[in-house]
Amino acid sequence: MEQPITVRAILEILGSPAEHITKALKDHIETLRKDGTAIKSEKLSSPEQKENLFSQYAELVITFKDTRALLNFCFDSIPSSVEIMAPEKIDLPTTALEDLLNDFLAKLHHTDAMIKNLSIQKQVLDRNAVNILHNFIKHACTEKKTAAELAKITGIKEEDLLKFTDQLIERNILKKEGQHYHTNA
Q: What is the CATH number for 164?
A: 1.10.10
Distance (Å, whole) CA 143 – CA 124: 30
Q: Do both 26 and 70 map to the same domain?
A: yes
* Predicted model pTM: 0.67
Q: Do both 154 and 78 map to the same domain?
A: no
Q: Work out the number of other CB atoms within 10 angstroms of the CB of residue 183.
A: 16
Q: In what order do the strands lie in the sheet with 180-183?
A: 145-146, 180-183, 174-177
Mean per-residue pLDDT over the chain, rounded: 94
Q: Do both 61 and 25 map to the same domain?
A: yes
Q: Do both 82 and 18 map to the same domain?
A: yes
- 163-176 pLDDT tens trace: 999 999 999 999 99
Domain count, the chain: 2
| pLDDT, average across residues 69-90 | 93
Instruction: Judge whether 69 lies within some domain.
Output: yes
- 6-26 pLDDT tens trace: 999 999 999 999 999 999 999
Contact 142, 182 (CB under 8 A): yes
Q: Do both 77 and 122 map to the same domain?
A: no
| pLDDT, average across residues 84-101 | 90
Is the model more confident about 2 or about 97?
Answer: 97
Q: Do both 127 and 65 map to the same domain?
A: no
Q: Do both 74 and 32 map to the same domain?
A: yes
Q: Do both 83 and 12 map to the same domain?
A: yes
Instruction: Judge whether 106 lies within some domain.
Output: no
Instruction: Judge whether 21 lies within some domain.
Output: yes
| Residues whose CB is less than 8 angstroms from the CB of residue 158 and which lie 6 or more positions away in sequence, other chains included | 147, 148, 150, 151
pLDDT above 90 (res 68): no
Q: Do both 84 and 152 map to the same domain?
A: no
pLDDT at 144: 95
- 99-156 pLDDT tens trace: 888 988 998 899 999 999 999 999 999 999 999 999 999 999 999 999 999 999 999 9
Distance from chain centroid for Cα 155: 26
Peptide bond into 17 cis (omega under 30): yes
**What CATH number does residue 12 fall under?**
3.30.70
Structure letter (DSSP) for residue 45: P
pLDDT above 90 (res 96): no
Task: Provide the residue range defining the domain that includes 85.
Answer: 5-89
Nearest of 47, 49, 71 to residue 58 by alpha carbon: 47
pLDDT at 1: 64
pLDDT above 90 (res 43): yes
Instruction: Judge whether 27 lies within some domain.
Output: yes
